[in-house]
């Protein structure tokens, strides 16, 4: 099902089956080139598959933007241990709601991507870790796995090739931290979702301490298109070093919020105006969080840029998970900072002290500040605590909490000053 | 302890989803699916999951206390989870939650006296582009206004 009208500016690669009658079914999938890429991959050498993915310039869609081909290439194929493909469907970065659509509308595309990854690294099984709230997706996936097993694409001796690859779904039970790769693996092993120290990285020692490929739903879902149309064709859709399209999730104060598949490098202002219909109520744009709530905020004047990993990094922010959160001129940025920190304080797993203590301290400070109880020295203190969390934790959650906070205090200091001395929020 | 035939089948399938000796992996799914049937993570469920996965009940307890969806307290028949995270907040999520509190006469993580409704203010549920959003048990509701919320509650009350 689609929850918003598509845009005519979209370039549909991963979403091309969205809206087709019974799009999650294997019949629809097979009628639209489904599992053809896997048949092609069966005839390729593993290193050729990996080379094709490298050529595509696909960078991880979960948030970190690491090239998927490189990641697959790190798996020691010769290792005697079993190898696994794990899909991260724990989508929970605030502002992000795309993996849900990919599974809901085209589950077989994800399964085919996993099969291709399995061939490339010589894996023995695949797991899809789905956040607990997305129960209906587990039902869709289990049905799709059943269909694919019946048709001989999943399971033992696939299409008579001797390749065994069963796929299983696995539910989480409410934890943002489990979207972090090493915490996800702990959770998948039946433990509390706390991060592991790296190295070793999952490619060498992941699930059950075995070599593991761990990718986001959107990344893996791109593999069939890359093998079908060629890595170069996928790369050409985007900008240099940022291949393909991506699903942007536009939310907040726009006329037409929605998930839209656009080429990498699409201009952010154009995205807001032409794809999302502009700011609602004729208001002015104040700020944008370009890639989920972990990313530093951009002021309106900084938004004339290409939405790819490198351009965003150059602008001092991140492309992250593709969650574009748009805020109009009436938005109180102190309230935004407070709500974001409340989230991270709630979700900190407590494993690393700078994050556990820092997020709670900042939440208290920001809440007091927004309520009018802040003092001038608090403004500096907020930035100071946040900066002292950076790089001092096992996983990126500490940075994820600190980075947006630092940017909001620096870029909207005047709004913090306007809340001083018992003054209530005017927004 | 035994469960419905459907859940027993699910548990059997789950325990076979992981390599031999790695049955512990099934702990979180077993707890959540078990909770769906029992209404809460009961002490008996903890014992049973420990027994079937071959770990100590204390190790299961450690897991239960970590995950926000696992609960030892019974929820209402209709568990309403309203997101107030940033994308929902910007378009009225916090006001929707306050409205829900008034409408149901309960607050965060409370249950109505008749056991019909429970309410929870939750973090991002992945419906940011169709906000404000809520989940009624596992079902998503998008673009929820206070009026739509009232209609939803009335329909549930009429259905019993």
- What's the pLDDT score for residue A236? 98
Say whether A293 and B86 touch across the interface (CB within 8 A).
yes
Q: Considering only residues A427 and A108, tell me which one the structure prediction assigns the higher pLDDT.
A: A108
Q: Residue A113 corresponds to which tokens in the numbers above?
A: 């991507």
Would you say residue A193 lies in a domain?
Answer: yes
CB under 8 Å to A62, separation ≥6 — which residues? A88, A179, A215, A216, A218, A219, A321
Say yes or no: A123 and A216 in one domain. yes
Q: What does the pLDDT look like over A120-150, one tens digit per residue?
A: 999 999 999 999 999 999 999 999 999 999 9
Q: What does the pLDDT look like over A94-105, one tens digit per residue?
A: 999 999 999 999
Residue A426 confidence (pLDDT) above 70:
no
The chain-wide mean pLDDT, for chain A, equals 96
Candidates A136, A349, A339, A135; CA nearest to B68 is: A349
- What's the pLDDT score for residue A1? 79
Residue A423 confidence (pLDDT) above 80:
no
- What's the pLDDT score for residue B160? 74
Least reliable range by pLDDT among A239-253, A301-315, A366-380, B23-37: A366-380
Q: What does the pLDDT look like over A187-233, one tens digit per residue?
A: 999 999 999 999 999 999 999 999 999 999 999 999 999 999 999 99
Say yes or no: A314 and A194 in one domain. no
Q: How confident is the model at residue A303 (pLDDT cuts 50, 70, 90)?
A: very high
In Å, how far is B63's CA from the nearest CA of chain A? Answer: 5
Say yes or no: A97 and A216 in one domain. yes
Which residue range forms the structural domain that includes residue B56? 5-64
Q: Which of A133, A193, A335 sits opposite B125 (nearest CB)?
A: A133
Would you say residue B118 lies in a domain?
Answer: yes
- What's the pLDDT score for residue A424? 67
- This prediction's pTM: 0.97
Candidates A341, A356, A353, A323; CA nearest to A408 is: A341
Would you say residue A6 lies in a domain?
Answer: no
Least reliable range by pLDDT among A197-201, B55-59, B99-103: A197-201
Q: Residue B114 corresponds to which tokens in the numbers above?
A: 């008749």
- What's the pLDDT score for residue A425? 74
Would you say residue A304 lies in a domain?
Answer: yes
Residue B41 confidence (pLDDT) above 90:
yes
Residue A47 confidence (pLDDT) above 90:
yes
- What's the pLDDT score for residue A421? 74
Instruction: Determine the residue among B129, B134, B136 to mutate to test chain A binding: the one whose Cβ has the most chain A Cβ atoms within 10 Å.
Output: B129
- What's the pLDDT score for residue A24? 97
Which residue range forms the structural domain that includes residue A407? 333-418
- What's the pLDDT score for residue A382? 96
Say yes or no: B84 and B154 in one domain. yes
Q: What does the pLDDT look like over A360-418, one tens digit per residue?
A: 999 999 999 999 888 999 999 999 999 999 999 999 999 999 999 999 999 999 999 99
Contacts of B86 in chain A (CB under 8 A): 94-95, 289, 293, 325, 336, 339-340, 343
Number of structural domains (chain B) is 2
Would you say residue A425 lies in a domain?
Answer: no
Q: Give residues 20 to 59 of B whose Cβ lies within 8 Å of A.
A: 22, 24-29, 31-33, 53, 55
């Amino acid at each position: 099902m689609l929850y918003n009208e598509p845009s005519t500016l979209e370039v549909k690669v991963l979403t091309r089956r969205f809206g087709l009658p019974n799009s999650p079914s294997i019949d629809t999938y097979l009628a639209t080139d489904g599992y053809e890429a896997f048949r092609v991959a069966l005839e390729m050498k593993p290193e050729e598959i990996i080379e094709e993915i490298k050529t595509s310039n696909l960078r991880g869609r979960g948030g970190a933007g690491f090239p998927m081909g490189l990641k697959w290439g790190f798996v020691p194929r010769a290792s005697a241990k079993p190898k696994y493909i794990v899909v991260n469907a724990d989508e929970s970065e605030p502002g992000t709601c795309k993996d849900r659509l990919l599974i809901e509308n085209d589950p077989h595309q994800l399964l085919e991507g996993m099969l291709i990854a399995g061939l490339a690294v010589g894996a023995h099984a695949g797991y899809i870790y789905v956040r607990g709230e997305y129960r209906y997706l587990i039902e869709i996936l289990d049905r799709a796995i059943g269909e694919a097993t019946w048709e001989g694409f999943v399971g033992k001796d696939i299409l008579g090739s001797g390749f065994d690859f069963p796929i299983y779904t696995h539910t989480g039970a409410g934890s943002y931290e489990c979207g972090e790769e090493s915490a996800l693996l702990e959770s998948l092993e039946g433990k509390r979702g706390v991060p592991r120290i790296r190295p070793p990285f999952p490619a060498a020692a992941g699930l059950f301490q075995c070599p593991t490929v761990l990718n986001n739903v959107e990344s893996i879902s791109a593999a069939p298109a890359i093998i079908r149309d060629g890595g170069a064709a996928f790369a050409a859709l985007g900008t240099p070093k940022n291949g393909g399209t991506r699903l942007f999730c536009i939310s907040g104060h726009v006329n037409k919020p929605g998930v839209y598949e656009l080429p990498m490098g699409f201009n952010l202002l154009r995205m807001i105006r032409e794809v999302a219909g502009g700011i609602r109520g004729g208001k002015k744009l104040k700020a944008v969080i370009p890639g989920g709530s972990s990313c530093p905020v951009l002021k309106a004047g900084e938004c004339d840029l290409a939405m790819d990993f490198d351009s965003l990094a150059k602008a001092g922010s991140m492309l992250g998970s593709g969650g574009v959160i748009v805020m109009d001129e009436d938005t109180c940025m102190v309230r935004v900072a407070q709500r974001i920190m409340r989230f991270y304080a709630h979700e900190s797993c407590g494993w690393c002290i700078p994050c556990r203590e820092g997020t709670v301290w900042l939440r208290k400070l920001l809440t007091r500040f927004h309520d009018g109880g802040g003092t001038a020295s608090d403004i500096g203190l907020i930035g100071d605590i946040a900066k002292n969390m950076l790089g001092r934790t096992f996983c990126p959650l500490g940075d994820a909490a600190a980075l947006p906070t630092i940017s909001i205090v620096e870029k909207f200091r005047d709004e913090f000053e306007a809340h001083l001395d018992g003054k209530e929020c005017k927004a | 302890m035994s469960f419905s035939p459907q859940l027993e089948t699910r548990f059997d399938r789950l325990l076979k989803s992981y390599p031999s000796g790695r049955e512990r992996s099934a702990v979180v799914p077993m707890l959540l699916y078990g909770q769906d049937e029992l209404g809460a993570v009961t002490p008996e469920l903890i014992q049973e999951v420990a027994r079937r996965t071959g770990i100590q009940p204390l190790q299961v307890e450690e897991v239960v206390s970590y995950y926000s969806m696992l609960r030892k307290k019974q929820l209402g028949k209709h568990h309403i989870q309203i997101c107030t995270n940033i994308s929902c907040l910007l378009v009225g999520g916090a006001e929707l939650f306050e409205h829900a509190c008034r409408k149901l006469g309960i607050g965060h993580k409370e249950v109505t006296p008749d056991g019909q409704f429970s309410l929870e203010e939750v973090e991002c549920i992945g419906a940011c582009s169709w906000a404000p959003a809520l989940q009624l048990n596992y079902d998503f509701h998008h673009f929820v206004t206070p009026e739509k919320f009232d209609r939803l509650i009335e329909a549930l009350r009429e259905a019993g």
